[in-house]
Structure 1
Amino acid sequence: MAAKMYNSFVSVVCVLQHPWELRLLPEYLRNVHQALSEAFSDYEVILVDNQSHHGQQTAEVVAEAPDEVRHNVYLLTLSRPTNRNHAILAGLDRSNGDYTVIFEFDFYHKPELILQLFEASRSEGTDIVYLRARARQAGLYFRPLYRIFYAILRHYSSLEVDGLAHDTRIISRRALNSLLRLRENLRYMKAIYSIVGYRTSWIETEEPLHGRDAEPFGERFRTSLIAITSFTTFLRSLLLWIFLGSLVFLFGVTANALKVKFTGVDLFGNAGEPFSGWTFLVVLIAIFFATTCLNLYIMSIYLSNIYNEIKQRPLYIIESIRRF
């Protein structure tokens, strides 16, 4: 039994993404109900079914649960499977609690984590508390890709994204209201949490990251592209370096062509025989290459500015207002 009953309304959001989660759903609901009913005055569980071909089965599983368990359950069945981040947003949109907990199936056997997240938020005065893994469970070939991805996020954005953060977290009402203001079609939730700001902390867990959520490589690759293109300046910086490289190439090729024309020896000391018009053609190609790279870089700046304006992200978020 919980040592203390909190007079708070807590919403729990859960996304059903895989068939094995449907098999665990009855136990998930029982565990969550027991933990929440003992600790909070009111609660709701929002299930987001992101596997449309199992929608009827999910409804039947919920209907078979005891009355006291299913009484607070709301089932949202999406018309077609979508990105996991979008499915989470569907649940957050319908959350009514003072606090909202995104609770993954990976922790169905540890419902006490919900109370731990809540107490950490209250005691530390933080608006967002997430579970942090000690390690990432990934194949040997994927590990360097993850390191490169998070290195890009760190160096080409101002975001503070934890590469070992689980989706499971608690969000206060005011932080959730600010989060829902960012209505982006291309969503990477970990980056959006960082944009919203507010005081954030974490609780370490033994559960490895992505231990059971085996997303296909294509889905993870698309999510990475969304994060890199939407929340970093990496591609624009890359075009800048390509342009600078083209200038070095232009000067090098021009110097080499002129040296061969007048001395018959290139920059590396190799003998060469200049043909009529060869120097002009090489220099012209190098100039066009550098000009093309410059145009691409300029266009990337304009497109980046247009892209940021279209998103209409809030220029600032007020955490609190005090009058003295």
Structure 2
Amino acid sequence: MERKEKLYLVIPCYNEEEVLHETEHRLTVKLNQMIADGLISDESRMVFVDDGSKDRTWNIITELHEKNPLVLGIKSSRNRGHQNTLLAGLMTVKDECDMVVSMDADLQDDIEVLDQFVQQYYDGCEIVYGVRSARKTDTFFKKFTAEGFYKLMEWMGVEIVFNHADYRLMSSRALQELAKYKEVNLFLRGIVPMIGFKTGIVTYERHERFAGESKYPLKKMLSFAMDGITSLSIKPIRFITGLGITLFVISIILLVYYTIGYFLGNTTPGWATIVVSIWGIGGLQLLAIGVIGEYIGKIYMETKERPRYIIEEFLK
């Protein structure tokens, strides 16, 4: 008899008390259906990872764990942000299962396509990306900024899947390889494609949030975008270097221009010296900062070697 693979759902949570019961209910129904259909093992589980929530999130996870054998819980020692919390969940369960699907707790990710994720896994895919088919539920501003972010990341040279967030399946083998990436500045949407292996895509329609407020207001979205760019691309630093070179070249052109003007008698005493000095020294300073930053930007955060997460409790 063919062995069915064990699936774990890893769900980061931060102040999600309003949605947890409904999320647990819907996922329980879905997992039981997939088990009954013979798609996954009856040892499959859902794992809620608490990111140092300030509300009753962890208490609810504990209660759900006690009454539902499908529910596991992981508690972070403090708030570390979505990416670190997601990584904590993935790394904690990577040896417990055959495949993992990461998803948000707010029920915006369509759980009805989980079957498609698993089927592509059986077809040989080590990583399967959930990609939004459209952004009908987004405002014009959200759609414009989100799609602009993906295009900007591609322009920066970052390998990223367009319209993919963190709804993805990863095999145990892919997770073992992910564990070798030791970056402190995490941007999993850019790191996972670096792993390689055979990949697949499942398209889905993202729903409205079931309850509660979004954990990604504009300020956090901008911060997240900046983390993604600075952790995976050095183009901003190279832009500064290029700007420094450009300004220095302009200073040389101005020097030639004012020198010619001097011999033609079309100069104001002292003007050429001041302008050339400002542009020349400014350009050289930016050039120097860019060159130094090229090295410092690569090593600064990584040399600290601080833990990316600390697990306080794991409810198995």
Q: How many Å separate the matches in 2 of 1:175 and 1:151? A: 26
- In the other structure, the counterpart of 1:92 is 90
Q: 2:291 aligns with which of 262, 282, 298?
A: 298
Q: How many Å separate the matches in 1 of 2:24 and 2:302? A: 45
Where does structure 1 lack aligned partners over 5 or more consecutive residues?
Answer: 266-272, 313-324
Alignment of 1:263-302 (within 5 A): 263-265=264-266, 274-275=268-269, 277-302=270-295
Q: Deviation digits for residues 77-121 of structure 1, max 9, x if unmatched?
A: 223333111111121122110111113345589544222211112
Would the alpha carbon gap of residues 21 and 219 (structure 1) be closer, same or farther in structure 2, given more than 3 Å must change? Answer: same
- In the other structure, the counterpart of 1:43 is 44
Query: How many angstroms does 1:47 deviate by?
Result: 0.9
Q: How many Å separate the matches in 1 of 2:259 and 2:208? A: 58
Would the alpha carbon gap of residues 135 and 111 (structure 1) be closer, same or farther in structure 2, given more than 3 Å must change? Answer: closer
- In the other structure, the counterpart of 1:189 is 188
Where does structure 2 lack aligned partners over 5 or more consecutive residues?
Answer: 306-316
Aligned residue pairs, count: 295
Q: How many Å separate the matches in 2 of 1:196 and 1:311? A: 24
TM-score (norm 2): 0.81
Would the alpha carbon gap of residues 63 and 177 (structure 1) be closer, same or farther in structure 2, given more than 3 Å must change? Answer: closer
Q: Does 1:156 align with 2:156?
A: yes
Query: How many angstroms does 1:163 deviate by?
Result: 2.6
Q: Does 1:171 align with 2:173?
A: no
- In the other structure, the counterpart of 2:6 is 9
Q: How many Å separate the matches in 2 of 1:216 and 1:73? A: 29
Q: How many Å separate the matches in 2 of 1:132 and 1:8? A: 24
Q: 2:56 aligns with which of 50, 54, 57?
A: 54
- In the other structure, the counterpart of 1:80 is 78
Q: How many Å separate the matches in 1 of 2:236 and 2:109? A: 42
Q: How many Å separate the matches in 1 of 2:248 and 2:209? A: 44
Q: How many Å separate the matches in 1 of 2:108 and 2:145? A: 29
CA RMSD of aligned residues (A): 3.1
**SS in structure 2 opposite 1:8?**
coil
> Percent of pairs identical after alignment?
20
Rg larger in 1 or in 2?
1
Q: How many Å separate the matches in 1 of 2:145 and 2:292? A: 28
**SS in structure 2 opposite 1:12?**
strand
Q: How many Å separate the matches in 1 of 2:85 and 2:120? A: 26
Return the letter of the residue paired with 1:16: C
Does 1 or 2 have the higher relative contact order (CA < 8 Å, sep 6+)?
2
TM-score (norm 1): 0.79
8 Å contact from structure 1 (residues 11, 43) kept in 2: yes
Q: Does 12-21 or 142-151 show the bigger shift?
A: 142-151
Q: Does 91-100 or 109-118 show the bigger shift?
A: 109-118
**SS in structure 1 opposite 2:9?**
strand
Query: How many angstroms does 1:145 deviate by?
Result: 3.7
